[in-house]
Amino acid sequence: MQVFEYRPPALPWLDIRYLDRDIIIINKPSGLLSNPGRAAVTHDCALTRLQRLYPETILVHRLDCATSGIMVFARNKAAESSLKTQFQERQSDKLYVAEVAGHLEQPAGVIDLPLAADKANPPLQQVSEQGKRAVTHYKVLEQREDSSLVALQPETGRTHQLRVHMLALGHPILGDDFYGGCEIENARPRLCLHAASLAFCHPYSGAEMHFVSLSPF
């Protein structure tokens, strides 16, 4: 794993896909933090970029810095509460696309492995019987020469869940500089994990909302 150097992409500065009085939907690029970290250099992130235009913007959920794709932000406390409740009670529907090493034996399946923090190597996570329950549904979309494109649907929302689950299955996500080792890390210029679809109910109207971002790999 390389030492983290934060160099957020400047183009596009913001890719806003939808905006109303309650919510903002963006397509976050790989390499941009969802929210600020402790270091001053991490102040530039999706949240602070939005707050320059809409100061009331509130973070609802996160994507890993290296993960790209659809994110929703709230513009008031009522919307924040509604969206967070939907995420916590699994009333929202998230779908990711990943390119992983090798060919999976089964075209579809469920990974049910508990996860816990790797205290010796923060912020890494690991499969642990003492961890919290973590469930991921997967489906092979395409087999390539030495990799596979898979759809990943997390039933739970543990830190690095998709990355650790695919590693445990023996098919790490290509470009993963946390869990993949040198060969996997150097296989692609970025982590091949993308939040391709997000569905939830609008916090004010209750209407079903569905946003999609095409996979970049």
Among candidate residues 19, 33, 8, the one with its CA nearest the CA of residue 123: 33
- Compute the distance between CA of residue 58 and CA of residue 63 in angstroms, rounded to an integer: 15
Q: Look up residue 206 and give its two tokens.
A: 């209750």
E strand or H helix that includes residue 93 = strand 93-101
Which sign does the torsion angle of CA 138, 140, 144, 149 carry? Answer: negative
- Compute the distance between CA of residue 65 and CA of residue 51 in angstroms, rounded to an integer: 18
Among candidate residues 89, 14, 100, the one with its CA nearest the CA of residue 53: 14
Q: List residues with catalytic annotation.
A: 64
CB 182 within 8 A of CB 205: no
Instruction: Compute CA distances 114 → 98, 133, 209, whole Å.
Output: 21, 4, 31
Q: Is the peptide bond between 122 and the residue preceding it cis, with omega within 30 degrees of 0?
A: no
Give me the amino acid identity at 119: K
